[in-house]
Chain A
Amino acid sequence: MMAGAKSFWLHVAVVLVLFALNFLLPEYHRGVFSRAMVLAVFAMGYNLAFGYTGLLSLGHAMFFAAGLYGAGLPIYHLEWSAWPALGTALLAGAALALAVGFLALRTAGVAFMIVTLMFAQVFYLATLYFGAYTRGEEGLVLPQAARALPLLGWNLVLTDPPTRYMIALTLLASVLAITFLLVRSPYGRSLIAIRENEERMRMLGYNVFANKLGAVVVSGVICATAGAAYGLLFGYIGSGFASIQYSILPLLWVLLGGAATTLGPIIGTLFMFYAVDLASSYTSAYMLVVGLALILLILFFPKGIVGTIRERWLPWLP
């Protein structure tokens, strides 16, 4: 179990580095990192379906948004506090993923992409249609008072930047631990095998549909958690987060960092954030620069950053 121990300590080290950065980073970059870490959790959830199970979904924005609205709407309209709102967010994500997965998994490949895309469009249009509650694109700003997490006698104020960073990191570390354990478990191994050869798995006695549905639900719940955290930490919920852009972004982050790697989504998300940040400080045509950088990266790192590192140097990376 040499490889297992090595990868375990690498993951611990990554979390420790991120922890130290809370004290080292200047205010501005701490904010960027907080945001990127929450979105990296979104990417990690997406990676479970896309990277490990081979389900190319173009609709994961709906799971992120289910968490965002699942937490935000009760807070805004019913004056709930953060903890129960987090509960409804996870329930919303799980229920939506179960329903969408149950229907969409009857298809595969391109049809699966289209079906998930359509479901996400329905969700997006629904957030506009129920504008009386969601205020559509304009969105809602969550009240300051609700953005606090009482925990073991402390009251964590989510508007305070260092607290925000630590909560984002805690979330990231938990989801990283979950994916790390999951992909190395018998269940995770069977998901990877389904991606590699579905028919063979069926003929080895695996219920392929149920396994995939499980992966979609876990993926959806993780994405919904990221959505809920995003809403609570940054205080704004709007239809934009349910749009197609937020279905494409996690795909991009995962591809950049390395599909089916545990650390890839984190690296990919941070890389993309800083590529946009850096390019936009020099030119208004920053998306052109970012696009070019992405093309170069895919040319030289076809399996993403971590994926290529694994292929060439560190085969033990999970």
Chain B
Amino acid sequence: MAAVTPPLLVTRNLSRFFGGLKAVDRVDFALPEGQVRAIIGPNGAGKTTFVSLVCGRILPSSGSILFDGREISHEPAHRRVRAGIAYTFQITSIFPNLTVFDNVALAAQRHLLDQKRVRPTEKTLQDACTKALDQVGLAQRASHRAGNLAYGHQRLVEIAMGLALRPRLLILDEPTQGLSDEEIEAFIRLVREIRREATILLIEHNMDVVMALAECITVMDQGRILAEGPPAAIRADAAVQQAYLGG
């Protein structure tokens, strides 16, 4: 028997109820390391709730979450981040009054502090920030006040903060929402670069982006996984068409 690497992220029977609403309903999910996975589905399908359970912003009603083989369902969000799960917000959430550099530095500083081997210095902090800002193409704007940037650039600050955490799993929640076509092109190139370093879980409505990036697609509807498979298969799936495209 060949040794199979266990998946980076596994959820078993994961549920979250809000009153009578089953936002996430007994979801079994597995994400192998190194994959780019897209989660699609109609509004209210439970996509954001699902990834919020994974990153710890909300706690599950039942079920379990394993990250790298370790049970994390009851760990607080900040510990999960330090274990390697980074989340970028659906609604841009940055520090508008700080400079772009300082925004990213807060993420880099956290990562450096956790690295016992290297003492965080001005130099290592500077390097880590410059690297993340270079990746998203914001190095030129490092000293700008983040709140003064255009919307598309603020989204990139958000992603740069995620990168500066050097995560093993990067969760991107509707990252291209509100971006121009040109910015979306650049974003696709960026994700292709990031995937060399991290596993990516992407919630996305723009099917062009999904088809360009995802190796595997999970379709959610009414809190459950409706279908899962490679992009071509999902595109052809009748049940998906029914739920997502309205028949």
Contacts and interface: CB of A to CB of B under 8 A. Distances in A.
- The B interface is mostly helix, strand or loop, or mixed, namely helix
Most buried by B among A192, A193, A201: A193
Interface string B163-174: 001000000000
B163 to A, nearest CB: 12
A252 B6 CA distance: 59
Nearest to B97: A196
Nearest to B111: A205
Most buried by A among B78, B81, B89, B120: B78
A202 interface: yes
B55 interface: yes
Contact of A202 (B77, B102, B161, B165): B77
Contact of B93 (A190, A197, A207): A197
A196 B96 CA distance: 8
A193 B95 contact: yes
Given A186-B120, A189-B102, A190-B106, A205 B95 contact: no
A206 B110 contact: yes
Interface residues of A, number: 17
A200 B77 contact: no
Most buried by B among A186, A200, A202: A200
A192 B87 CA distance: 21
Contacts of B89: 200, 203
A230 to B, nearest CB: 35
B107 interface: yes
B82 interface: yes
Contact of B78 (A186, A193, A205): A205
Given A193-B98, A204-B107, A208-B78, A186 B55 contact: no
A199 B113 CA distance: 20
A235 to B, nearest CB: 44
B94 interface: yes
B141 interface: no
Interface in A181-218: 186, 189-190, 192-193, 196-197, 199-208
Given A200-B93, A205-B114, A205-B165, 16 more contacts: A186-B113, A186-B120, A189-B105, A193-B98, A196-B95, A196-B96, A196-B97, A199-B57, A203-B55, A203-B57, A203-B81, A203-B86, A203-B87, A203-B89, A204-B110, A206-B110
16 contacts: A186-B113, A190-B106, A196-B95, A196-B97, A196-B98, A197-B95, A200-B95, A202-B57, A202-B81, A203-B57, A204-B106, A204-B110, A204-B165, A205-B81, A205-B114, A207-B76
